[in-house]
Amino acid sequence: MNLQENLEGEGLLPFLTRITIRKLMTSNPYILRSIINLALRPTLDQKSYIYNISNEYCKGSIIMENIASSKDDWTAIQRLKLADIIIFEIHGLCPKNPYPIAKNHCLQTFQYLVYQLGISPLKIVITCDSAGGSLALEMLIDMYAPRILENVHNNLDAPRENFDMPIPAGAFFSSPLVSADTSTPSYQKNHKKDIVSMKLSKILYKEYMVMPDRNFPDNIPVMHLQDIRYGFARFLPRQILVYVGTKESLLDSVIRWVTDMKEDGGSINVQLHLEPYYHDWFMCPLLVKKKNRAIIDKYTQLFVDWAVHAVQQANDSAK
């Protein structure tokens, strides 16, 4: 396909957005982090919705209407505790947060919400995108069935151990990284155009996994998530929502993961939605043609309705 055909199909702005992000993602990680911080800097209108919190127990941001007016952490936390639904967004940027720092931060914060603040996991919906998918999966495994990944060759049948804390109401995955496999047909076909490329994969291993030659030790849990093919109810919420693009390098891995969940005895209710876009299209609407961008509103509303349903279902089942 030549450039003109590509532009006609994809659109100029989505094309420029994709190649720009693709280039930035493989640039110096410190420069990349600075650019991301600049791009995601909240507007004046948005600042009133954000309260940043960082202490020995919790690290992140609380996003609620007028939350910025809270006079201290305690006041902001009290408002959080009153919420009917809590969206727990998982992320962590390298190189500042090499593996497993980001996962440990998320795990510590989640446990703080539940054990210290008394917030029920049944009103928590976990959300993540891209590499956050692997963070979310490993965090949930660590909380509920940690021995699954202690020895990846012998413990795939390890049972759930933590029954003191209910599993969260739901989990939303947008273009998730759920496998370390780069040999799938979709990866081989799409990596030269998609944001997720072979070069990015190598940088991920070098900067995030701190393994320059990609000869990773066999006991690193996150590298074996794709080996878990059954027993998802041991650690996953019963309600799962997944968005992924058909032009993504990660497509085949995501589809296999979803198929495994659907065939796992009906224990997980998973919804998969496919659209003809590149990696992280839902989180980056500029990857979608302006005339087609109503699809973002459609899937945003779908997520909201799904999250409400997930919390209702979790609480009804607990009665």
- d(CA 268, CA 238) in angstroms, rounded, equals 5
Token pair belonging to 248: 């993504």
Other C-beta atoms lying within 10 Å of the C-beta of residue 225:
21
For residue 128, what is the enclosing H or E element?
A: strand 124-129
Residue 174: φ, ψ to 5°: -110, 120
- Each residue's pLDDT, cut to its tens digit, for the chain (319 residues) gives 455 445 557 899 999 999 999 998 888 777 777 877 787 789 999 999 999 998 888 888 999 999 999 999 999 999 999 999 999 998 766 556 778 888 898 999 999 999 999 999 999 999 999 989 999 999 999 999 999 988 656 688 999 999 999 999 999 999 999 998 899 999 999 999 999 999 998 887 777 766 655 555 566 777 788 999 999 999 999 999 999 999 999 999 999 999 999 999 989 999 999 999 999 999 999 999 999 999 999 999 999 999 999 999 999 999 8
3-state secondary structure of 270: strand
For the chain, list the domains and their CATH numbers: 12-41+84-318 (3.40.50.1820)
- d(CA 140, CA 134) in angstroms, rounded, equals 10
pTM for the whole structure: 0.93
